[in-house]
Amino acid sequence: MKNTLRSFLKCLILSSTFLGTASAADLRLGLITPPSHQWTISAQELAQELKEKSNGTVNLLVFPSGQLGNEAQMLQQLQSGALDMAFLVAGEIANRRPNYAALFAPYLVDTPTEVSQLLQGPTATEMLSELNGLGLVGLGYGMAGMRQVLVRQDLDSVEQLKGQKIRTIPIEPELDFWRKVGTAPTPMPLPALYDAFANGQIDGMQIDFEGAWNVKYIDNAKTFLHSNHMMLPMVAVASARKWNQLPAEQTELITELTAKHLNQIILAYDQIDSDYLTQIQEHKPDVKLLSVDREFFGPGVDKWYEEWRKKSPALVKLEAEAAAIKANP
């Protein structure tokens, strides 16, 4: 009897000691980009560093290419706790939180370096707390390449874009920009885009140099507007349901390393944009590369700002911060 009691107490002590240490966390991160995309590459690097720095207690599994669903579906999974983390285009948030529309303002910032400073500034950082109301924990921002415009026709002026079908993502601030420019914005799933552009269902698209080259959209284009007219912000999020179950040492490490890799994504696009632009210039001399600025798009840009300053309260603050960044490069 004494031996049995002694064994029970020993097991109880050992169990208590184990429960007092951080248990292993197996987390899943979803994103829509393919394995070759910088977001996916950085997510894999984040997973590796988390495993090393946590001594194996944080195991992050990365699911690229929309394996876990499109972004709307992944957002629902995050809210229910079925998915742990995701890199989401901020447009999915902008459809639900008006302040996030401000991140799609045309000509707000001009370069990835300026994007990095703006997205780590006070207004963008404060906006992360708005995600709590969606059942999310905001971990920070990334981006894809600066937005350019690829079109099927030989083009010299914005007037030639009037009435043209321009593929966009289905978020109101982006759709509204293209309406105010005078085009027919046409939301379309990314997997359908290549065939639609090749056969003329659409006339043009917002795209970065990386996507235009890697997916071969440029093979069916005659003009590439080098505009840098908009950033494509990404927000890294965690499911609040899962986050609240993790020990503090794990959430602190995830927060720290995610912020590090997100900023590396943004700054990487200085070189990525430059490299792909060079590829296009060298190997696609038949595609006209036309450098344009805010004036090219006409009064539609100013009209956009007049309307969205009312709809998205954060926009005025972000404008002021962006102006300060440009004044002090």
pLDDT tens digit sequence for 1-22: 445 445 444 444 333 333 334 5
Does 7 reside within a domain?
Answer: no
Give per-residue pLDDT as tens, 259-303.
999 999 999 999 999 999 999 999 999 999 999 999 999 999 999
Q: What is the CATH number of the domain that holds 115?
A: 3.40.190.170
Residue with tokens 């004036």: 295
Burial class (CB in 10 A: 0-12, 13-18, 19+), 190: middle
pTM of the model: 0.89
Write out the residue range of the structural domain in which residue 123 sits.
Answer: 25-144+232-273
Q: Which residue has the higher pLDDT, 21 or 243?
A: 243
CA–CA separation, 296 and 73 (whole Å): 37
Considering its fold, how many domains does the chain have in total?
2
Q: Do 182 and 41 share a structural domain?
A: no
CA–CA separation, 85 and 168 (whole Å): 25
**E strand segments, the chain:** 25-30, 58-63, 85-89, 136-144, 148-151, 165-168, 184-187, 204-207, 223-226, 232-239, 288-291
Question: 235 with 95: CB under 8 angstroms?
Answer: no
306: pLDDT strictly greater than 90:
yes
Does 32 reside within a domain?
Answer: yes
Give per-residue pLDDT as tens, 133-168.
999 999 999 999 999 999 999 999 999 999 999 999
Q: To the nearest whole percent, how much of the chain has pLDDT over 90?
A: 90
Does 16 reside within a domain?
Answer: no
Does 258 reside within a domain?
Answer: yes
Give per-residue pLDDT as tens, 59-113.
999 999 999 999 999 999 999 999 999 999 999 899 999 999 999 999 999 999 9
Q: Do 135 and 250 share a structural domain?
A: yes
Average confidence score pLDDT of the chain: 93
Q: Around Cβ 193, how many Cβ atoms within 10 Å?
A: 18
User: Which residues are registered as beta bridge partners of 290?
Assistant: 225
**Dihedral of the CA atoms 325, 43, 96, 252 (nearest 10)?**
-80
**How far lies 61's CA from each of 30, 80, 234, 244, in Å?**
9, 19, 19, 19
pLDDT of residue 157: 96
Q: Do 168 and 75 share a structural domain?
A: no
Q: Tell me if residue 88 falls in helix, strand or coil.
A: strand
Going edge to edge, which strands form the sheet with 184-187? 184-187, 165-168, 204-207, 148-151, 223-226, 288-291
Question: 115 with 103: CB under 8 angstroms?
Answer: no
Q: Do 224 and 321 share a structural domain?
A: yes
